[in-house]
Protein backbone atom coordinates (compact mmCIF):
# COMPACT_ATOMS: atom_id res chain seq x y z
CA UNK A 1 0.00 0.00 0.00
CA UNK A 2 1.17 3.49 -0.80
CA UNK A 3 1.85 5.40 2.43
CA UNK A 4 1.92 9.14 1.87
CA UNK A 5 3.30 11.68 4.31
CA UNK A 6 2.05 15.23 3.85
CA UNK A 7 3.05 18.24 5.91
CA UNK A 8 2.61 21.96 6.24
CA UNK A 9 3.16 24.47 9.01
CA UNK A 10 -0.56 24.40 9.72
CA UNK A 11 -3.88 23.56 8.10
CA UNK A 12 -3.25 25.03 4.65
CA UNK A 13 -1.81 21.78 3.34
CA UNK A 14 -5.17 20.15 3.91
CA UNK A 15 -6.26 21.85 0.68
CA UNK A 16 -3.79 19.49 -1.00
CA UNK A 17 -5.10 16.51 0.99
CA UNK A 18 -8.64 17.44 -0.04
CA UNK A 19 -7.63 17.29 -3.70
CA UNK A 20 -5.86 13.98 -3.11
CA UNK A 21 -8.99 12.38 -1.63
CA UNK A 22 -10.72 12.94 -4.98
CA UNK A 23 -8.03 11.19 -7.05
CA UNK A 24 -5.89 8.91 -4.88
CA UNK A 25 -7.12 5.44 -3.87
CA UNK A 26 -5.69 2.44 -2.05
CA UNK A 27 -3.41 4.52 0.15
CA UNK A 28 -2.85 5.84 3.64
CA UNK A 29 -2.28 9.57 4.06
CA UNK A 30 -0.55 10.84 7.20
CA UNK A 31 -0.85 14.61 7.50
CA UNK A 32 1.28 16.58 9.95
CA UNK A 33 0.38 20.17 10.79
CA UNK A 34 3.54 21.59 12.36
CA UNK A 35 1.55 24.14 14.34
CA UNK A 36 4.21 24.35 17.04
CA UNK A 37 6.54 26.04 14.55
CA UNK A 38 3.96 27.91 12.46
CA UNK A 39 4.05 29.99 10.43
CA UNK A 40 6.98 28.87 8.27
CA UNK A 41 6.63 31.87 5.97
CA UNK A 42 8.39 34.24 8.34
CA UNK A 43 11.14 31.86 9.49
CA UNK A 44 14.68 31.61 8.12
CA UNK A 45 15.53 28.99 5.47
CA UNK A 46 17.72 27.19 8.03
CA UNK A 47 14.85 26.95 10.50
CA UNK A 48 12.44 25.73 7.84
CA UNK A 49 14.89 23.04 6.71
CA UNK A 50 15.32 21.88 10.31
CA UNK A 51 11.56 21.68 10.88
CA UNK A 52 11.06 19.85 7.57
CA UNK A 53 13.74 17.28 8.33
CA UNK A 54 12.26 16.61 11.78
CA UNK A 55 8.73 16.08 10.45
CA UNK A 56 9.94 13.86 7.62
CA UNK A 57 12.00 11.70 9.96
CA UNK A 58 8.94 11.28 12.16
CA UNK A 59 6.85 10.19 9.16
CA UNK A 60 9.52 7.73 8.03
CA UNK A 61 10.12 6.25 11.50
CA UNK A 62 6.52 6.11 12.71
CA UNK A 63 4.49 5.52 9.56
CA UNK A 64 7.03 4.02 7.13
CA UNK A 65 5.99 6.39 4.35
CA UNK A 66 7.17 5.79 0.80
CA UNK A 67 5.99 9.13 -0.60
CA UNK A 68 6.28 12.65 0.80
CA UNK A 69 4.29 15.75 -0.21
CA UNK A 70 5.54 19.14 0.89
CA UNK A 71 2.13 20.82 0.96
CA UNK A 72 3.79 24.15 1.59
CA UNK A 73 5.37 26.54 -0.89
CA UNK A 74 7.72 27.89 1.77
CA UNK A 75 8.99 24.47 2.83
CA UNK A 76 9.44 23.47 -0.80
CA UNK A 77 11.58 26.52 -1.45
CA UNK A 78 13.77 26.04 1.61
CA UNK A 79 13.92 22.29 2.12
CA UNK A 80 13.07 20.09 -0.87
CA UNK A 81 16.67 19.84 -2.10
CA UNK A 82 17.90 18.81 1.33
CA UNK A 83 15.08 16.31 1.76
CA UNK A 84 15.79 14.67 -1.58
CA UNK A 85 19.44 14.32 -0.64
CA UNK A 86 18.59 12.83 2.77
CA UNK A 87 15.81 10.49 1.54
CA UNK A 88 16.69 9.37 -2.00
CA UNK A 89 14.33 6.38 -1.91
CA UNK A 90 11.21 8.45 -1.24
CA UNK A 91 8.91 9.89 -3.86
CA UNK A 92 9.15 13.58 -2.93
CA UNK A 93 6.87 16.20 -4.46
CA UNK A 94 6.88 19.89 -3.60
CA UNK A 95 4.49 22.77 -4.06
CA UNK A 96 5.40 25.71 -6.27
CA UNK A 97 3.44 28.85 -7.18
CA UNK A 98 1.43 28.27 -10.36
CA UNK A 99 3.23 30.86 -12.49
CA UNK A 100 3.10 28.72 -15.64
CA UNK A 101 -0.69 28.17 -15.65
CA UNK A 102 -1.18 31.84 -14.72
CA UNK A 103 0.80 32.94 -17.79
CA UNK A 104 -1.28 30.58 -19.92
CA UNK A 105 -4.59 31.90 -18.61
CA UNK A 106 -4.10 35.65 -18.24
CA UNK A 107 -5.78 37.88 -20.80
CA UNK A 108 -4.35 41.21 -19.65
CA UNK A 109 -0.78 40.00 -19.12
CA UNK A 110 -0.98 41.27 -15.53
CA UNK A 111 -0.52 38.60 -12.89
CA UNK A 112 -0.72 38.96 -9.13
CA UNK A 113 1.18 36.70 -6.74
CA UNK A 114 0.18 36.34 -3.10
CA UNK A 115 2.75 34.44 -1.05
CA UNK A 116 4.64 34.34 2.22
CA UNK A 117 7.78 36.46 2.60
CA UNK A 118 10.00 33.36 2.61
CA UNK A 119 8.54 32.06 -0.65
CA UNK A 120 8.97 35.37 -2.47
CA UNK A 121 12.54 35.75 -1.21
CA UNK A 122 13.58 32.20 -2.15
CA UNK A 123 15.89 31.37 -5.04
CA UNK A 124 13.46 28.69 -6.24
CA UNK A 125 10.71 31.26 -6.78
CA UNK A 126 13.00 33.78 -8.48
CA UNK A 127 14.39 31.12 -10.81
CA UNK A 128 10.87 29.96 -11.66
CA UNK A 129 9.67 33.47 -12.48
CA UNK A 130 12.78 34.29 -14.51
CA UNK A 131 12.55 31.08 -16.52
CA UNK A 132 8.85 31.36 -17.31
CA UNK A 133 8.51 35.09 -17.82
CA UNK A 134 11.61 35.91 -19.88
CA UNK A 135 9.86 35.23 -23.20
CA UNK A 136 6.40 36.45 -22.13
CA UNK A 137 5.05 39.97 -22.14
CA UNK A 138 3.69 39.94 -18.61
CA UNK A 139 3.74 42.22 -15.59
CA UNK A 140 4.02 40.68 -12.13
CA UNK A 141 2.45 42.17 -9.01
CA UNK A 142 4.02 40.36 -6.04
CA UNK A 143 2.73 40.74 -2.51
CA UNK A 144 4.14 39.26 0.69
CA UNK A 145 1.15 38.63 2.94
CA UNK A 146 2.48 39.11 6.47
CA UNK A 147 0.12 37.66 9.06
CA UNK A 148 -2.41 36.16 6.64
CA UNK A 149 -1.63 32.54 7.52
CA UNK A 150 -2.26 33.30 11.20
CA UNK A 151 -5.65 34.79 10.34
CA UNK A 152 -6.62 31.71 8.37
CA UNK A 153 -5.41 29.35 11.11
CA UNK A 154 -7.71 31.17 13.55
CA UNK A 155 -10.63 30.60 11.20
CA UNK A 156 -10.94 34.29 10.31
CA UNK A 157 -11.69 33.57 6.67
CA UNK A 158 -13.80 36.64 5.96
CA UNK A 159 -13.47 38.69 9.14
CA UNK A 160 -13.17 42.47 9.01
CA UNK A 161 -9.45 42.33 9.80
CA UNK A 162 -8.73 39.74 7.10
CA UNK A 163 -10.77 41.68 4.55
CA UNK A 164 -8.95 44.90 5.42
CA UNK A 165 -5.57 43.17 5.04
CA UNK A 166 -6.56 41.86 1.62
CA UNK A 167 -7.94 45.25 0.57
CA UNK A 168 -4.56 46.85 1.25
CA UNK A 169 -2.70 44.20 -0.76
CA UNK A 170 -5.17 43.73 -3.60
CA UNK A 171 -6.30 47.28 -4.34
CA UNK A 172 -3.16 48.04 -6.45
CA UNK A 173 -3.76 44.82 -8.40
CA UNK A 174 -7.42 45.67 -8.89
CA UNK A 175 -6.61 49.17 -10.13
CA UNK A 176 -3.89 47.84 -12.47
CA UNK A 177 -6.24 45.37 -14.16
CA UNK A 178 -4.78 42.14 -12.80
CA UNK A 179 -6.98 39.30 -14.03
CA UNK A 180 -5.08 36.28 -12.67
CA UNK A 181 -3.75 35.77 -9.14
CA UNK A 182 -1.37 33.01 -8.11
CA UNK A 183 -2.14 31.71 -4.63
CA UNK A 184 1.44 31.04 -3.55
CA UNK A 185 0.57 29.42 -0.23
CA UNK A 186 -1.61 26.37 0.36
CA UNK A 187 -3.56 28.30 3.00
CA UNK A 188 -4.80 30.89 0.53
CA UNK A 189 -7.39 28.78 -1.36
CA UNK A 190 -9.31 28.82 1.93
CA UNK A 191 -9.97 32.54 1.46
CA UNK A 192 -10.65 32.41 -2.28
CA UNK A 193 -14.15 33.85 -1.93
CA UNK A 194 -12.87 36.76 0.15
CA UNK A 195 -10.18 37.50 -2.44
CA UNK A 196 -12.77 37.46 -5.23
CA UNK A 197 -15.01 39.82 -3.24
CA UNK A 198 -12.18 42.30 -2.63
CA UNK A 199 -11.06 42.24 -6.28
CA UNK A 200 -14.59 43.31 -7.36
CA UNK A 201 -14.22 41.79 -10.82
CA UNK A 202 -13.80 38.36 -12.32
CA UNK A 203 -10.36 37.00 -11.52
CA UNK A 204 -8.73 33.61 -12.06
CA UNK A 205 -7.21 32.14 -8.90
CA UNK A 206 -4.40 29.67 -9.50
CA UNK A 207 -3.39 26.94 -7.06
CA UNK A 208 -1.79 23.60 -7.77
CA UNK A 209 -3.36 20.97 -5.51
CA UNK A 210 -4.87 18.94 -8.36
CA UNK A 211 -1.57 18.98 -10.27
CA UNK A 212 0.26 17.63 -7.21
CA UNK A 213 -2.20 14.73 -6.93
CA UNK A 214 -1.86 13.84 -10.61
CA UNK A 215 1.93 13.98 -10.39
CA UNK A 216 1.85 11.65 -7.38
CA UNK A 217 -0.26 9.14 -9.32
CA UNK A 218 2.23 9.23 -12.21
CA UNK A 219 5.30 8.70 -10.03
CA UNK A 220 3.72 6.06 -7.79
CA UNK A 221 2.39 4.20 -10.85
CA UNK A 222 5.93 4.03 -12.21
CA UNK A 223 6.89 2.23 -9.01
CA UNK A 224 4.08 -0.29 -9.35
CA UNK A 225 1.48 1.10 -6.97
CA UNK A 226 -2.12 0.47 -8.02
CA UNK A 227 -4.58 3.33 -7.60
CA UNK A 228 -7.46 1.23 -6.31
CA UNK A 229 -8.97 0.36 -2.96
CA UNK A 230 -9.85 2.32 0.17
CA UNK A 231 -8.20 5.56 1.22
CA UNK A 232 -7.54 6.42 4.86
CA UNK A 233 -6.50 9.83 6.18
CA UNK A 234 -5.01 10.55 9.59
CA UNK A 235 -4.17 14.05 10.80
CA UNK A 236 -1.53 14.89 13.38
CA UNK A 237 -0.38 18.15 14.90
CA UNK A 238 2.70 19.22 16.82
CA UNK A 239 0.71 21.81 18.79
CA UNK A 240 -2.77 23.24 19.00
CA UNK A 241 -5.03 22.86 15.98
CA UNK A 242 -8.37 24.38 14.97
CA UNK A 243 -10.69 21.37 14.77
CA UNK A 244 -13.57 23.30 13.25
CA UNK A 245 -11.28 24.36 10.41
CA UNK A 246 -10.22 20.74 9.86
CA UNK A 247 -13.88 19.75 9.55
CA UNK A 248 -14.70 22.57 7.15
CA UNK A 249 -11.75 21.80 4.87
CA UNK A 250 -12.33 18.06 4.71
CA UNK A 251 -16.11 18.00 5.07
CA UNK A 252 -16.49 15.99 1.86
CA UNK A 253 -14.38 13.13 3.17
CA UNK A 254 -16.15 10.55 5.34
CA UNK A 255 -13.40 8.32 6.77
CA UNK A 256 -11.28 10.78 8.71
CA UNK A 257 -9.43 10.00 11.91
CA UNK A 258 -7.82 12.73 13.97
CA UNK A 259 -4.96 12.25 16.40
CA UNK A 260 -3.27 15.14 18.17
CA UNK A 261 0.31 14.53 19.24
CA UNK A 262 2.52 16.55 21.55
CA UNK A 263 5.67 16.50 19.44
CA UNK A 264 7.01 15.16 16.18
Among residues 17, 72, 103, 166, the one annotated as catalytic is: 72
Euclidean distance between CA atoms 25 and 197, whole angstroms:
35
Euclidean distance between CA atoms 77 and 72, whole angstroms:
9
The answer to whether residues 258 and 234 touch, using CB atoms and an 8 Å cutoff, is: yes
Name, in order, each residue with C-beta under 8 angstroms of 241's C-beta and a sequence gap of 6 or more.
10, 11, 33, 35, 235, 260
**Residue 32: its H or E element:** strand 27-33
Sheet containing 2-8: give its strands across: 91-93, 67-70, 2-8, 27-33, 231-237, 256-258
Residue 154 preceded by cis peptide, ω within 30: no
Q: Does residue 145 have an active-site annotation?
A: no
Q: For 87-191, where are the alpha helices, taking DSSP H only? A: 99-105, 117-121, 123-133, 148-153, 160-176
Name, in order, each residue with C-beta under 8 angstroms of 85's C-beta and a sequence gap of 6 or more.
none
Among residues 48, 185, 212, 231, the one annotated as catalytic is: 185
Q: Does residue 72 have an active-site annotation?
A: yes
Buried/exposed 68-86: b ≥16 CB within 10 Å, e otherwise: bbbbbbbbbbbbbebbeee
Residues annotated catalytic, as ranges: 72, 185
Amino acid sequence: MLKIGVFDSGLGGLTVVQAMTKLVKGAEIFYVADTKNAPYGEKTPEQILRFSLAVTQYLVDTHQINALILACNTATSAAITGLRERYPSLIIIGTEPGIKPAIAQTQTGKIGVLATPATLQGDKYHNLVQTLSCTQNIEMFEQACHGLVEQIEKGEIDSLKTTQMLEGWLSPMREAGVDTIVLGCTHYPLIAKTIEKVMQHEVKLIHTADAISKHLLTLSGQKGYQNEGDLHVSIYATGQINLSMVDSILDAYDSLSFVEIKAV
